[in-house]
Amino acid sequence: MKLSSDFRTRVLAGQWLTGTFINLGSPITTEIAGNAGYDWLLIDHEHGPGGQDTLVSQLQAAAATPAFAVVRIAWNETVTFKRVLDMGAQGVMVPFISSAEEAKKAVSAMRYPPRGVRGLAKMQRASGYGVDFEDHYLHGHEKLLLVAQIESPEAVSAADEIAAVDGVDVLFVGPTDLSYNMGIRDQLESTQFIEALTKVVSAAKKSGKAAGILVQSAAMVEKCRDLGFSFVALGSDGGSVANGLRQNAAALKAAKK
């Protein structure tokens, strides 16, 4: 598979790019979402049940659609980057980045020597099983997307320094974790939380990076856009399936009455 630098360029230009979370571990819902009109998909291997045995199938499903595939790994571990990137992830989201040093570690894991510490293997899916290896080795760092999650008060305080790290492309707010860690559980429209969001957006823009966030309701989309977020996800495949089934079940029960 040959990577294109177009999507990363669009992200850094601050274009409005929309996505959704894929947390069921299913290549089928990955493919459905990829054809639904989203610009990008977040294949969630932090909280979702997917693992090494499902990821290739999910990435193959995403590749059959227009959507850009980002994989959220469980933690900032170098060996995990190597695995998901070799399988063909076009981007990686890293949870709980709270300092510039942690961000630099993630960037290093994304890049081949001499720019980083990513291990080399020519015969893997990311390089077309060897066909595109030279391009992947020389230019992969220009095309792969690194999304750093901001999920703690420490991360908000260090947002300027994190955004300034070369190779960090998106500062992405995890709203649930951030609100809980701030001691204001789910108070996503409170003054204190909005101030934190504003600081993250400001830090991203100052360094020419994008600000991203996951929202759970359509009502929050425009608010986040107005705050300056441009890399925005709404809901998930799991949430869509659950909500759709509940609505259908409720309609059937209502007819019985």
Query: In CATH, what number does 6-256 get?
Result: 3.20.20.60
Q: How large is the angle between the packed helices 191-206 and 219-227, nearest 10 degrees?
A: 50
Task: Using DSSP bridges, classify how beta strands 17-22 and 231-236 pair: parallel, antiparallel or unpaired.
Answer: parallel
Look at residue 199 and tell me whether its pLDDT is greater than 80.
yes
pLDDT given at position 118: 98
Q: How large is the angle between the packed helices 100-110 and 78-87, nearest 10 degrees?
A: 40
Per the annotation, the verdict on 47 as an active-site residue is yes
Local structure of residue 96 (DSSP, 8 states): -
Look at residue 9 and tell me whether its pLDDT is greater than 90.
yes
Length of the chain: 257
Catalytic residue among 47, 136, 139, 141: 47
What are the tens digits of pLDDT across the range 145-174? 999 999 999 999 999 999 999 999 999 999
What are the tens digits of pLDDT across the range 105-139? 999 999 999 999 999 999 999 999 999 999 999 99
Share of the chain above pLDDT 70, in %: 100
Q: Model pTM?
A: 0.96
- Domain boundaries of the chain, sorted by first residue: 6-256
* pLDDT band at residue 256 under the 50/70/90 scheme: confident
